[in-house]
Amino acid sequence: MELCSMQYTAFWYQKCKSWNQSYWLKFMSSGKFGQTSAASSNTQKKHLRWKELQEKLLKNQGSMTPLTEQEIMEILNAAIPQFLAEQSLLEFKAPVVICGDIHGQFEDLLRLYNFIGWPPEKRYLFLGDYVDRGQQSVEVICLQILLKLQYPKDYFLLRGNHEHIEINRCYGFYEECKTRYSRHLWHRFQNFFACMPLAALVSEKILCMHGGISSELKNFDQIRHIRRPTSIPPSGVLCDLLWADPDGNANGYGESPRGAGCVFGANAVFEFCDNMGIDLIARAHQVVEQGYQFFAQRRCVTVFSAPNYCNIYNNAAAALIIDQNLNCKIVQIKSSTKKKK
């Protein structure tokens, strides 16, 4: 069964107005940007605070989060400067566990941690799409931010195409925030999403992103120099990083049926990897039956980490475990619930 042909509404793009550019200029020039406390006791207090909120979040794992709106705002206010302090292209060494879309499936995210290991025992890289579709997007994104705040060198989060105002307005996250909290909180999440890194380079050999490669991407500096916070343009490198898809019928690059981003063929993958000096492209963005799917003679892999997606697809979830020698092991996690008939 072909599971990679899900379509998105074509009107997805509109200039993001959820954050005020003058606010960010003022914030970044205020001297507070990138500041860290000299007092180790203050750092320890913050770590204990994030641990406390994590324990509160996990107290009743099968139910909606007991976190208050004020507590979530506290988490987001701490996360924004920390994410802005990172580069648009994350660069770090293996080992790492690479995971794909989660889409609000909180219980499945916890099963993944319990099966593979919790940070900092394991270093994680998530490729985006934390929100929408599932019923507990707030829990998913709050837990992941809390883990990032506690373990900044062992937990990495990239932006997906659903971390964009015009997408998560339509596919569940807006309604979840509005119903359970407020529209104001939803807008604050958009401020945070605009600050997230866009790609990662693992041990200089594995390029990771949510969507895919771009015909306009010729060197890594093009990603490094993308300034954040940013909205997602309708075309170009940034758009393709979050929206592009592999296509076995494509010769080079072509127009995507999604209405955003491009499609790329196997020959585009070979040329891109050779030109950039990398061995593998790891991306997410598409539900695949086994949770992973190779393309272009194993030079590109799709990983999807939400099992039984939307309670419709009877798909497995998967994660890539990359060791320090860049050997790759694939772990599959079956759904805990059966597909609806």
- Please state, in angstroms and rounded to a whole number, the distance separating the CA atoms of residues 48 and 150: 9
Q: Is the pLDDT of residue 32 over 50?
A: no
Q: Is the pLDDT of residue 33 over 70?
A: no
CB under 8 Å to 223, separation ≥6 — which residues? 88, 89, 198, 199, 217, 237, 241
* Class of the CATH-defined domain 61-333: alpha beta
Q: Is the pLDDT of residue 130 over 80?
A: yes
Q: Report, as residue numbers or ranges, the catalytic residues.
A: 162
Residue 156 burial (10 A CB sphere; 0-12, 13-18, 19+): buried
CA geometry: angle 148, 150, 155, nearest 5 deg: 35
Q: What is the pLDDT of residues 192-219, one digit of tens each?
A: 999 999 999 999 999 999 999 999 999 9
Looking from the CA of 278 toward its CB, the CA atoms found within 13 Å total 25
- Please state, in angstroms and rounded to a whole number, the distance separating the CA atoms of residues 296 and 264: 10
CB under 8 Å to 276, separation ≥6 — which residues? 207, 219, 220
Conformational region of residue 123, where left means phi above 0, alpha means psi within -120 to 50, and beta covers everything else: beta
151 residue type, one letter:
Y
Torsions phi, psi for 89 (to 5 deg): -110, 105
Predicted pLDDT of residue 335: 74
Per the CB < 8 A criterion, the answer to whether 67 and 58 are in contact is no
User: Band of the pLDDT at 183, cuts 50, 70, 90?
Assistant: very high
Predicted pLDDT of residue 6: 36
